[in-house]
Amino acid sequence: MEKREIKSFTLAELKEEMEQLGEKPFRAVQMYEWMHRKLSRGYGEMSNIPAAMKAKCGENYSYTALRTVAVQESGLDGTKKFLFALADGNVVESVWMRYKHGNSVCISSQVGCRMGCRFCASTLDGLVRNLTPAEMLDQIYAITLETGERVSNVVVMGSGEPLDNYENLLRFITLLTDENGLHVSQRNITVSTCGIVPVMRKLAEERLQITLALSLHAATDEKRRELMPIANQYTLAELMECCAYYFEQTGRRITFEYSLVRDVNDGQTDAQTLASLIRGLNCHVNLIPVNPVRERAYVQSEKRSVEAFAAFLQKRGINATVRREMGRDIDGACGQLRRRFLAEMNEG
């Protein structure tokens, strides 16, 4: 049987595990602190833990510590993109961005993705596997150590569909917000989904104070189905009702993500349809000029179309902003760095 990961246990669970190994609860507290606060890369540095206990832990659990394979730094804005190797040899990418209000990390939730969005590089080879809670956390831990700076915001917007890995996502959030760990505030966590309605409802009922971002990208079912296969399963009407429910349950305003693709969804009529679709919802619209992906034919909207689109929404009282593009020079779009790395490995 595969060993369980010691870094995926909550403190309460770790206490129980340690008890079963014949250790005192305070040892669990010490161990938890080494893992989740001091961000140890292994048992070696845990100076106040007895060697016998370390050995027992080593026998019984695996210790997740991602290995940095590559780092790219943007010459434009200091954004850093990390490629990490998991214990089984798979690789995932994460992005570190510095903003005025603090440092933000964008993490992956799966290796690959099975959602099939047409403009996205992460999904080109389908889903390989889910990431565990410890593997999601350790992207943040490894980056904190590499940069030497505190991470204040976390967005689950890298490769993968977080709501397709729901139980691990919830546990990840529990660990990340734990006061005995990095203690990131729920309000500083954003989870982005392509819109899996029943799971969004379940999440609403958790009543977390995180931000839910919905990847909308089109304002009619017909157009959305062209861009996102998930739109064949859930209509926009269902999605909008679900967003209203999310707000009702959590009091948190939804963020709509809308990637602008030239001549596909960036016209005045599109803006108008979008405005009517989301009228009355407590929301914020994030406009993102689509990141061109080599394997895909989509072209970025022109600057003036983006500005006109934003202005149109704003005039109708809709809170809309254009996302600053970070790290354009370093394979900015989801999944691009990983793809390039895998391609080079295969060539080599």
Residue numbers of the site for ligand SAH (CB under 6 A)? 115, 117, 119-120, 157, 161, 192-194, 215, 257, 259, 288, 290-291, 293, 333-334
Task: Tell me whether strands 4-5 and 61-62 are parallel, antiparallel or unpaired.
Answer: parallel
CB closer to ligand SAH, 177 vs 259: 259
Q: Give the nearer residue to ligand SAH in terms of CB position, either 65 or 106.
A: 106
Among residues 57, 113, 283, 334, the one annotated as catalytic is 334
Active site residue 241: no
Find the shortest distance in angstroms from Cβ 344 to ligand SAH.
20
The CA-atom distances, in angstroms, between 179 and each of 46, 162, 306 are 20, 23, 41
Tokens of 198: 């029943």
Using the minimum distance from each CB to ligand SAH, give the nearer residue, 139 or 192.
192
In the complex, the smallest distance separating the C-beta of residue 122 from ligand SAH, rounded to whole angstroms, is 7
**Of residues 11 and 157, the one with the C-beta less far from ligand SAH:** 157
Q: What are phi and psi of 68, to 5 degrees?
A: -75, 120
* Active-site residue identified among 5, 23, 93, 161: 93
93 catalytic? Reply is yes
Phi, psi of 340 (to 5 degrees): -65, -40
Q: Which is nearer to ligand SAH, 54 or 253 (CB)?
A: 253
Residue 224 and residue 231 in contact, taking contact as beta carbons nearer than 8 Å: yes
Cβ atoms within 10 A of the Cβ of 310, count? 19
| Nearest distance in Å: CB 182, ligand SAH | 21
Encoding tokens for residue 339?
Answer: 């793809």
Residues 121, 126, 127, 128, CA torsion sign? negative
Q: 81 with 330: CB under 8 angstroms?
A: yes
Minimum CB distance to ligand SAH, residue 155 (Å): 8
Burial state string for 151-185 with b = 16 or more CB within 10 A and e = fewer than 16: bebbbbbbbbbbbbbbebbbbbbebbbbeebbebe
CB of 117 to ligand SAH, least distance (A): 6
Active site (catalytic) residues: 93, 334
